[in-house]
Chain A
Amino acid sequence: MNSIIQLAWLVPVFPLIGFIINGLGRKNLNKTISGGIASMMVLGSFIISALLFAQVTHHQTANIHLFNFIQTKGLKIAFDFKIDQLSSLFLMIITGVGFLIHVYSTSYMHDEDNKDFAKYFAYLNLFVFSMLLLVMGSNFVIMFIGWEGVGLCSYLLIGYWYRNTDYTNAAKKAFIMNRIGDLGFLLAVFWLLAKVGTIEYDQVFTAASLAKLSAADITGITLLMFVGATGKSAQIPLYTWLPDAMAGPTPVSALIHAATMVTAGIYMISRSNALFSLAHTTQNVILVIGLATALLAASIAIKQNDIKKVLAYSTVSQLGFMFIALGTGNYVAAVFHVLTHAFFKALMFLGSGSVIHAMGGEQDIRKMGGLHKHMKITSITFLIGCLAIAGIPGFSGFFSKDEILAGAFAHNPVIFGATLFAALLTAFYMFRLYIITFTGSFRGTHDQKHHLHESPKAMTLPLIILAILSIIGGYVGVPEALGGHHQLAEFLSPVVGHSSHELSHNTEYMLMGISSVLVLISILFAWIRFKNYRVEGQATGLSKWLENKWYVDELYDMVIVKPLKSISSFLNNVIESKVVDGTVNGVGRFVNYSSRQLRWLQSGQVGAYVLLMVIGMIILFFIQFFL
């Protein structure tokens, strides 16, 4: 059965074919065909991924050599794929969630023109292709190819409605911020090339474990990689693009900006755990950044009124949780949370899409309310998502978040406290969102109220599937304290090793108890606070800061964007035109000027010429005899 693994190259090829067909045929395909092709291609990838996954569970992993991308003296980069536990798990998430979102999109995007519809699916397929490259590559360059590829698709899809300048601004911002991170990643790759001479995962990790890299090298490399991860996974300081990225169509937010692309940073770090485990400075940096991001984003999410913005900040915050796990060396927990988060966050985004669809494009939760009566499936599935993300026992989020918390506790109780606080904020803002949106009475216009309806099957079906996954998804990682085996940890152990923290079962029970109780209290608090929600007036004090996202965008604008612009203008208007060009033109002007002055000597009077001649002769005479 090795042949299945050898067919792994088909996984990314399917969506690539879909991209090409939809891209070239966008003028001639109708919606059923283009949507169908795109979805089928991803389904095909999913099926092969599932087969691969089955193989990998039997401990069959493989490197598949396709061709040499770059080969010259001193540099060899192979276009190889690596199928192992980690990549096959990500393949399942990407193609599985990806397929559901493709199906959902066929309905959600149905109001678009044929041409734009096909364009949308072409981009979506291209995204899946790039993301698959990212996780399947067997070296850092292939990962980088996918890494930039997903950034590109994110750019294209955020700016999908290209007539709106705000949207294209958001797209541009996303791309540029990602590029900043990408530069870090790229420099890490060069560093590896310079020190180890190869960028193949296996060889790099072997070299690291054999202490061929100095501690400074490893710290530098991992820090630069982490810079890349902060860009792609929206961590401080490069997170501000993600909330803006909500300008894209909602399924895109679900797929790219919640379930898959933004977890690339986590994938990268878990993949390179052999390096990161050796770099304690980097781990501490990751921990601090992750924690800060989790808290900051959660605090902002409390005061946002755009349904997608809340989810976006929630995503940033949840990614922060994953980085906390990575920072504590708890790679399994991070990957586990990627998995469960992919389910419940995709679910909630798609749910919000369903709401927006029903509201005719309205995204402001202050104008919603009482939607439960009108769209039961959406409401219930959304509730399941909220319960999962809040970490209510029994739902998937509980297990993964608990594991992160346990790891944090083992690392340092203070970190645990802060992380727990972020988790409480999470429960609070998610239920604020749910309560304001789905309960109470409707606050929108009359037209909107008449228009309210449950979404079609193509949209609700993915919701239901994701809701089920959000519940059961956690049971792959039931901790031993609860009598489970933690199959996920077992499964991933060949790649990431065994989890480090050693807590007694009693401590774990205590932690679970504390967090569960506090989360429930937090939800209760949200219920009391928002059950009779009325639109509030102008915010003041802290809430104004929160509403304005701590003014981080304004800060960046003031500290980076504006100075850069004025420096550039200065270079253009002063240095370029006055100094550099001025010097050049100055030389020309000097020659011109002096010629014009010398022209007066040419009077045309023969006498004058003779006089000059005589003067010249006299001067020569003097030079000859007296000097």
Chain B
Amino acid sequence: MGTYITFPDLLIWLPILAGVFCFVAGTEKNARTIALGFSLLVLGVAVTSLFFKEEGRYLNYNNVNYIWLKYIGANYFIGLDGLGRMLTLLTAIGFPLVFVATAKAEVKNSKSFYGLMMLTQAGLMGVFMALDALTFYFFWELALIPVYFLSSIWGGEKRIQATFKFFVYTFTGSLLMLIGIIYVYLHTGAHTYEDGTVTMHSFALSAFYNVQLSASEQNWLFILFFIAFAIKMPIFPFHTWQPDAYDQAPTSVTMVLSGIMVKMGLFGVIRWLLPVFPMAAVHFKNVVIILSIIGVVYASCVAMVQDNIKRLVAYSSIAHIGLMCAAIFAMNQVSIQGVMIQMFNHGINIIGMWIVVEVIERKTGIKKISELSGIANTMPTLTIFMVIVALANIALPLTNSFTGEFMMFSGLYHYNRWFAAIAGLGIILAAVYTLNMIQKVFYGSANAVTGELKDIEWTEKLSLLVVVVLIFAIGVYPQPLIDLTQSAVNNLLVRI
């Protein structure tokens, strides 16, 4: 292994390289070009990797294992499996989409901005591919830190407060997880390197999977890890950083945060939490599902009375993520597979949603729903896109979310019908707040501000078009995504 330039290598090092280039780019405009160019390159790599997914034949293309810290048994071990492939694809699609959609927005000091964005991408890629706990933790933090700077420097008025909250929240979670990782590490078996060096313990994923822990150990370790992931997702009641952060962060960062970064939490649960602590997962699953479902209904209710369009989308996202978390813990084939494809779909939809919100905020300077009205009169194209994205957001059939939500609900129902029924209230409430928002913002007659608007530019059109095409393509024919994640689900279910 490691004798080729592999897909994981490319997916991580290209963004890092791009980040460095951006920092040293001569002009501000160059930075944007470099970022866009490299992110498209990454997209190309991610798409190409889809054709090399056969485990047996292309093992060496998809896995990298370098010795990192030999004396403690930590390796730079990354690899692509079905789930990782899908999420790296989402990350690879997300960034160029964000860059194109916000191309018309003014960014001060864009060299650092794009540099940090690309570093974030590298961090995300690493999280989704890590097969070693220390590598995972490293990338987990690598994804967090640039976002901290991005939102505290380029954010809105209350950015410092919001970012501080976000940072403290997630960092607390991270540290708890680190404690957990170290504890599990100390209980792993010995690891022998190829040159005969033996270490007492190992950080490798496989070692973590094989670790023997008593039920009570599993329980409190589960709590440590779960809090970290629950904050990241976020799950009620760990969610309050999110509306503030989404509201105050620059919208392109919010897109990354909500579209891709929250998937880190879900991914962590699927890749690390369930397989490493299966007994605790079974022990806690009802608690988690109930918390998640409370979150679904609660966030939907709160979303209904939001007047700030960004906070509305944030709460909507909390509700959707809550459903995904509940479905993971229903722990059956259909529900988990539904979650996996919904992770992708939610990423696409919410990025589309933010693109529209960003356009509105940039052009009017308003994010209060009550001060907007009748945008459909002056921006019909934007309205059409928004309606489609919103319908995808409420999981209308033949849009991408339908398949995911159908499978999640189906699995959840299989586990417990009352959970599914109560979570189903979220479907109704989602329609209420989404349609309310559309009605108030887009319909009606235009007011003084919205009457002067011009319709969207080609860059925004292009990015929204990509979103909409993905929405319908996956909505009508979701089978490729299902096939992609099939093996990941099987591997997971064997362990729990």
In the docked arrangement, what's the CA distance between A571 and B429, Å?
A: 14
Instruction: Given A565-B304, A572-B305, A581-B240, decide whether A194 and B443 contact each other with a Cβ distance below 8 A.
Output: no
Q: List 15 A-B contacts (CB under 8 A).
A: A73-B490, A148-B397, A152-B391, A152-B396, A187-B417, A187-B420, A190-B414, A193-B410, A571-B305, A572-B301, A576-B240, A580-B236, A580-B237, A580-B240, A584-B165
Question: Is B377 touching A163 in the complex (CB atoms < 8 A)?
Answer: yes
A514 at the interface (CB under 8 A from B): no
Question: Is B398 touching A149 in the complex (CB atoms < 8 A)?
Answer: yes
Instruction: Given A71-B479, A186-B424, A580-B240, decide whether A176 and B431 contact each other with a Cβ distance below 8 A.
Output: yes
Residue of B nearest to A195 (CB): B414
In the docked arrangement, what's the CA distance between A68 and B482, Å?
A: 11
In the docked arrangement, what's the CA distance between A180 and B436, Å?
A: 16
A interface residues, tally (CB under 8 Å): 52
Q: Separation in Å of the A474 CB from the closest CB of chain B?
A: 36
Residue of A nearest to B383 (CB): A162
Instruction: Given A148-B396, A580-B237, decide whether A69 and B478 contact each other with a Cβ distance below 8 A.
Output: yes
Question: Is A72 touching B420 in the complex (CB atoms < 8 A)?
Answer: no
Q: Which A residues are in CB contact (< 8 Å) with B427?
A: 179, 182-183, 186
**Which stretch in B70-78, B208-216, B401-409 binds the other chain?**
B401-409
Q: Separation in Å of the A232 CB from the closest CB of chain B?
A: 14
- Most chain B CB within 10 A, of A162, A564, A588, is at A162
**Which stretch in A165-173, A208-216, A303-311, A522-530 binds the other chain?**
A165-173
Question: Is A567 touching B301 in the complex (CB atoms < 8 A)?
Answer: yes
Further contacts, 15 of them, CB under 8 A, given A72-B407, A152-B396, A572-B302: A67-B477, A70-B403, A70-B406, A71-B482, A72-B333, A159-B439, A162-B443, A165-B444, A172-B439, A176-B432, A187-B420, A193-B410, A568-B305, A572-B306, A588-B168
B428 at the interface (CB under 8 A from A): yes
Question: Is A176 touching B435 in the complex (CB atoms < 8 A)?
Answer: yes
One digit per residue, 1 when the CB lies within 8 angstroms of any chain A CB and 0 when it does not, for chain B 440-467 equals 0011110000000000000000000000
Q: List CB contacts (< 8 Å) of B83-138 with chain A.
A: none
Instruction: Given A149-B397, A176-B432, decide whether A163 and B333 contact each other with a Cβ distance below 8 A.
Output: no
Instruction: Given A70-B407, A191-B413, A588-B168, decide whether A568 and B435 contact each other with a Cβ distance below 8 A.
Output: no
Q: Separation in Å of the B476 CB from the closest CB of chain A?
A: 8
Residue of A nearest to B311 (CB): A572
Q: List CB contacts (< 8 Å) of B364-414 with chain A.
A: 374, 376-377, 380, 391, 396-398, 402-403, 406-407, 409-410, 413-414
A145 at the interface (CB under 8 A from B): yes
A75 at the interface (CB under 8 A from B): yes
In the docked arrangement, what's the CA distance between A70 and B342, Å?
A: 14
B interface residues, tally (CB under 8 Å): 56
In the docked arrangement, what's the CA distance between A624 and B302, Å?
A: 57
In the docked arrangement, what's the CA distance between A202 and B68, Å?
A: 59
Residue of B nearest to A115 (CB): B380
A14 at the interface (CB under 8 A from B): no
One digit per residue, 1 when the CB lies within 8 angstroms of any chain B CB and 0 when it does not, for chain A 62-95 equals 0000011111111100000000000000000000
In the docked arrangement, what's the CA distance between A565 and B436, Å?
A: 13
Instruction: Given A145-B398, A193-B414, A576-B240, decide whether A74 and B301 contact each other with a Cβ distance below 8 A.
Output: no
Q: Separation in Å of the B421 CB from the closest CB of chain A?
A: 6
Q: Which A residues are in CB contact (< 8 Å) with B432?
A: 176
A438 at the interface (CB under 8 A from B): no
**B residues within 8 Å of A by Cβ?**
165, 168-169, 236-237, 239-240, 298, 301-302, 304-306, 332-334, 337, 374, 376-377, 380, 391, 396-398, 402-403, 406-407, 409-410, 413-414, 417, 420-421, 424-425, 427-428, 431-432, 435-436, 439, 442-445, 477-479, 482, 486, 489-490
A175 at the interface (CB under 8 A from B): yes
Q: Separation in Å of the B236 CB from the closest CB of chain A?
A: 8
Question: Is B305 touching A193 in the complex (CB atoms < 8 A)?
Answer: no
Q: Which A residues are in CB contact (< 8 Å) with B489?
A: 72
Question: Is A163 touching B301 in the complex (CB atoms < 8 A)?
Answer: no
Q: List CB contacts (< 8 Å) of A538-578 with chain B.
A: 564-565, 567-569, 571-572, 575-576
Question: Is A162 touching B482 in the complex (CB atoms < 8 A)?
Answer: no
Question: Is B333 touching A176 in the complex (CB atoms < 8 A)?
Answer: no
In the docked arrangement, what's the CA distance between A189 and B425, Å?
A: 16
Q: Which A residues are in CB contact (< 8 Å) with B406?
A: 70, 141, 186
B interface: dominant SS: helix
Instruction: Given A68-B479, A186-B409, A568-B301, decide whether A163 and B420 contact each other with a Cβ distance below 8 A.
Output: no
Give the 6 A-B CB pairs with smallest separation, nearest first.
A190-B413, A145-B397, A162-B443, A568-B301, A581-B240, A168-B443
A144 at the interface (CB under 8 A from B): yes
Question: Is A191 touching B417 in the complex (CB atoms < 8 A)?
Answer: yes
Residue of B nearest to A566 (CB): B305
In the docked arrangement, what's the CA distance between A367 and B76, Å?
A: 82
Question: Is A193 touching B428 in the complex (CB atoms < 8 A)?
Answer: no
A interface: dominant SS: helix
Q: Which A residues are in CB contact (< 8 Å) with B442?
A: 162
Q: Which B residues are in CB contact (< 8 Å) with A568?
A: 301-302, 304-305
In the docked arrangement, what's the CA distance between A187 and B445, Å?
A: 39
In the docked arrangement, what's the CA distance between A159 and B478, Å?
A: 31
In the docked arrangement, what's the CA distance between A73 and B402, Å?
A: 18
In the docked arrangement, what's the CA distance between A162 and B486, Å?
A: 44
In the docked arrangement, what's the CA distance between A162 and B239, Å?
A: 35
In the docked arrangement, what's the CA distance between A550 and B196, Å?
A: 86
Question: Is B443 touching A163 in the complex (CB atoms < 8 A)?
Answer: yes
Q: Separation in Å of the A624 CB from the closest CB of chain B?
A: 32
In the docked arrangement, what's the CA distance between A329 and B326, Å?
A: 40
Q: Separation in Å of the A114 CB from the closest CB of chain B?
A: 13
Instruction: Given A69-B478, A75-B407, decide whether A571 and B443 contact each other with a Cβ distance below 8 A.
Output: no
Residue of B nearest to A68 (CB): B479
Q: Separation in Å of the A269 CB from the closest CB of chain B?
A: 20
Residue of A nearest to B403 (CB): A70
Q: Which A residues are in CB contact (< 8 Å) with B304?
A: 564-565, 568
Q: Which A residues are in CB contact (< 8 Å) with B236?
A: 580
Q: Which A residues are in CB contact (< 8 Å) with B376?
A: 162
- Most chain A CB within 10 A, of B237, B425, B431, B445, is at B431
Question: Is A190 touching B420 in the complex (CB atoms < 8 A)?
Answer: yes
Q: Which A residues are in CB contact (< 8 Å) with B435?
A: 155, 172, 175-176
Question: Is A180 touching B428 in the complex (CB atoms < 8 A)?
Answer: yes
Q: List CB contacts (< 8 Å) of A499-527 with chain B.
A: none
Residue of A nearest to B439 (CB): A168
CB contact between B414 and one of A70, A164, A179, A194 (< 8 Å): that residue = A194
Question: Is A169 touching B439 in the complex (CB atoms < 8 A)?
Answer: yes
Q: Which B residues are in CB contact (< 8 Å) with A179?
A: 427-428, 431
In the docked arrangement, what's the CA distance between A384 and B326, Å?
A: 57
Residue of B nearest to A163 (CB): B445
Instruction: Given A144-B397, A162-B444, A191-B417, decide whether A75 and B431 contact each other with a Cβ distance below 8 A.
Output: no
Q: Which B residues are in CB contact (< 8 Å) with A182?
A: 427
In the docked arrangement, what's the CA distance between A146 and B444, Å?
A: 29
Q: Separation in Å of the B225 CB from the closest CB of chain A?
A: 20
Residue of A nearest to B420 (CB): A190
Q: Which B residues are in CB contact (< 8 Å) with A165?
A: 439, 443-444
Q: Separation in Å of the B193 CB from the closest CB of chain A?
A: 38
Question: Is A183 touching B424 in the complex (CB atoms < 8 A)?
Answer: yes
In the docked arrangement, what's the CA distance between A588 and B240, Å?
A: 14
Question: Is A70 touching B478 in the complex (CB atoms < 8 A)?
Answer: yes
In the docked arrangement, what's the CA distance between A571 and B169, Å?
A: 22
Residue of B nearest to A144 (CB): B397
Question: Is A576 touching B302 in the complex (CB atoms < 8 A)?
Answer: yes
In the docked arrangement, what's the CA distance between A164 and B443, Å?
A: 8
Question: Is B397 touching A193 in the complex (CB atoms < 8 A)?
Answer: no
Residue of B nearest to A561 (CB): B432
Question: Is B409 touching A190 in the complex (CB atoms < 8 A)?
Answer: yes
Instruction: Given A569-B305, A571-B301, decide whether A163 and B240 contact each other with a Cβ distance below 8 A.
Output: no
Instruction: Given A162-B376, A180-B428, A569-B305, decide whether A75 and B334 contact each other with a Cβ distance below 8 A.
Output: yes
Question: Is B302 touching A72 in the complex (CB atoms < 8 A)?
Answer: no
Q: Which B residues are in CB contact (< 8 Å) with A163?
A: 374, 377, 443-445
In the docked arrangement, what's the CA distance between A183 and B482, Å?
A: 24
Q: Separation in Å of the A52 CB from the closest CB of chain B?
A: 23
